[in-house]
Amino acid sequence: MSDKDNKLPRHGVPKGARRVQQELLYDPDVATPSHAEYSMTMACNKATATLCTISKNEGNYPYGSFVTYAMYKGNPIFLISKLAEHTKNLQADSKSSLLIAEGGDDNPLALGRVTLVGDCNKLSKAERPSARSIFLEKHPSARFYVDFEDFEFYQLKVDSIRYIGGFGRMSWVDANDWFKSEPDPLEPYAADIIEHMNEDHRDAMVILCQKLSKASDTTDATMISIDRYGFEMSAMTNDGDRPIRLAFDNQVSDSDEARVEIISLVKRARSTN
């Protein structure tokens, strides 16, 4: 199943007493990252994950281990020791998967995660220089052992992708969509933008919810996430906290561009009767 044309908002189940009956308070066709884009952004943003291999010594049971990784041509690569249990497993059976998960203080089941499934094999000598450069950029501390003889680069060639963005938001991402997608360029700036908006501009977000969505009874609002296409807010209404997503007029790639787009939306909201 592909997430092509997916427009599901990045929110959990709305809070409130009438969850099933609650209507969506914003345009369902608002520009939203696809599940492939969400997955790729998460994979490129994280640096550690759980590698699952087929145990060679324990009756072919799945064996999970903590690893560091970097993304290389859309596939995760690992610098692993020949002595590691997962390396021995891969040498016997290349079937594997990598679970990458978001962290945070929220309900862990409401946080995002992606599982990459495929065959994991040692990279060729020709690819090692490129892999070495990319891996060390992500993990500079690996310089200490990257050239040890007992360490090798392995690559999990992604064949299947399972994305879960929280309650009710999940899909098997099409592999072609995965390899065509790019990580969100706003990701490095998102946390600072969200903190700034929630500390200094909640009044502006209330106006945005009141005027540019159906949540006209909004009394308070907080920004939940932001990406190249737009941002999500949690609006306090008479029915409790409700998700609101608004799109930018233009895609953004840094905090300055995001600021321009947010100001444009606020000006539009304030001029709306």
Check if the beta carbon of residue 186 is closer than 8 Å to that of residue 38: no
Element (H, E) at 260: helix 255-270
pTM, rounded to two decimals: 0.86
pLDDT of residue 21: 60
Round to the nearest angstrom and report the end-to-end CA distance of the chain. 43
Contact yes or no for 186/227 (Cβ under 8 A):
yes
What pLDDT shows up at residue 6? 41
Span 72-93, pLDDT tens digits: 999 999 999 999 999 999 999 9
Domains assigned to the chain: 38-180 (2.30.110.10), 185-270 (3.20.180.10)
Instruction: Look at residue 266 and give its three-state secondary structure.
Output: helix
Sign of CA dihedral 70, 72, 75, 80: negative
227-237 pLDDT, tens per residue? 999 999 999 99
pLDDT classification of 26: cutoffs 50, 70, 90 = very high
